Amino acid sequence: MTDIYHKLKKSDFWYELPPDLVVNQPKSKRKNSRFLVLNRERISHRRFFDLPELLNHGDLLIVNDTKVIKARLQGVKNTGGKVDILIEKIETNHIAVCHVKASRGLSRHHTVTIGKVKVQMLERVKDLYRLEFEIPLSAVLEQFGSVPLPTYIERNPTLADSHRYQTVYARHEGAVAAPTAGLHFDNELLDKIRCKGVEIYPITLHIGAGTFQTIRVEDISQHELHCEWYKIPPSTRKAINQRTGRCIAVGTTVVRTLEHAAITGVDEGETSLFIRPGFKFQVVDSLITNFHLPESSLIMLVSAFCGYELTMRVYDVAVKNRYRFFSYGDSMWCDRAV
């Protein structure tokens, strides 16, 4: 990394965001969201349904086909206190690692009841809890779980969220947050993209709640990112290796998966790759992504990809032009900085 990247601190990724630009509801049609296109430092303002115009025959579009589970649960401790549980990772049919919010915390002598289902705390795992459910987790989530909307969406989830907080190509259950760059695609748009001679291939990365994790240290080199499970299918690996056009990542999770595998040579496992300015990209040429939280690991990844100064300028333009931010917000396109 160059000296300028060594000097970047968490506070360098702060920007002012008017609260009314953080949206609680998606657009009525997925592809009607606004689309900021950054092309060789030129910014244009478009709609997401214009995406096929940016693509060329031979390009490869890589999507994350993870599926969001109903990961949020409400329970009561045996002492009477309320407990909010968010599944981070399912380990077995009965055991999961979870985020827990409870008055006065949770200890081994506590039992939590969800409906009539008993839940036992097994151990602390750093800031998380390993919990054991007396019946299979699939049944618990189906009966009592709700869509785990991010906390900045200040409302309770509705039936519509079970559809809209999910990509149309979601296949493999395991995420507790949506790969939001993919929320803008509908099947009609995907068909138009294929008609241009662009191949679409999946990876799977099960996004954990840690994607919203606050960076607590000013020196970002000291921050440790959460681990997430990923898989690159053999057909996707073959397509990447044999491509004749650009590799276009739909979302930061695709970037982290492909670049982690390029470093390790492993197409299935766990990644905690924290991409920040100075990172050397090996695979991804272009990125489609939503607008991310200030001082988050995600805006740092975008800064690494597009260049720090240009990224912060783009965010300033997006705010001034009143783009919609975060999960149900608008998106942008950027090419990898040379």
Pairing mode, strands 228-231 and 199-205:
antiparallel
Pairing mode, strands 111-114 and 247-250:
unpaired
Cα–Cα dist 191/184, whole Å: 14
Q: Looking at this protein, which amino acid is placed at residue 135? A: I
Q: Looking at this protein, which amino acid is placed at residue 29? A: K
DSSP single-letter state for residue 196: T
Q: Are 13 and 299 in contact (CB under 8 A)?
A: yes
Predicted local distance difference test score (pLDDT) of residue 209: 84
Q: What is the mean pLDDT of residues 229-238?
A: 98
Residue 4 pLDDT exceeds 80: no
Residue 2 pLDDT exceeds 60: no
CA angle, residues 61, 298, 105, in degrees to nearest 5: 125
pLDDT above 70 covers a percentage of the chain that reads: 98
Predicted local distance difference test score (pLDDT) of residue 1: 47
**57-67 pLDDT per residue, tens:** 999 999 999 99
| Lookup: tokens for 150 | 């991010």
Q: What is the SS3 assignment for 59? A: coil
Q: Looking at this protein, which amino acid is placed at residue 175? A: A
Cα–Cα dist 64/230, whole Å: 10
DSSP single-letter state for residue 215: P
- The reported pTM is 0.94
Q: Are 28 and 184 in contact (CB under 8 A)?
A: no
Q: Are 48 and 184 in contact (CB under 8 A)?
A: yes
Residue 168 pLDDT exceeds 90: yes
CA angle, residues 161, 164, 166, in degrees to nearest 5: 100
What average pLDDT does the chain have? 95
Q: Are 205 and 259 in contact (CB under 8 A)?
A: no
Rg, Å, the chain Cα set: 20
Residue 287 pLDDT exceeds 90: yes
User: In which band, very low, low, confident or very high, does the pLDDT at 28 lie, cut at 50, 70 and 90?
Assistant: very high
**E strand or H helix that includes residue 189:** helix 187-195
**86-133 pLDDT per residue, tens:** 999 999 999 999 999 998 778 887 889 999 999 999 999 888 999 999
Q: Mean pLDDT lowest for which of 105-119, 222-236, 301-315?
A: 105-119
Instruction: Give the chain's domains with CATH numbers.
Output: 3-68+159-335 (3.40.1780.10), 72-144 (2.40.10.240)
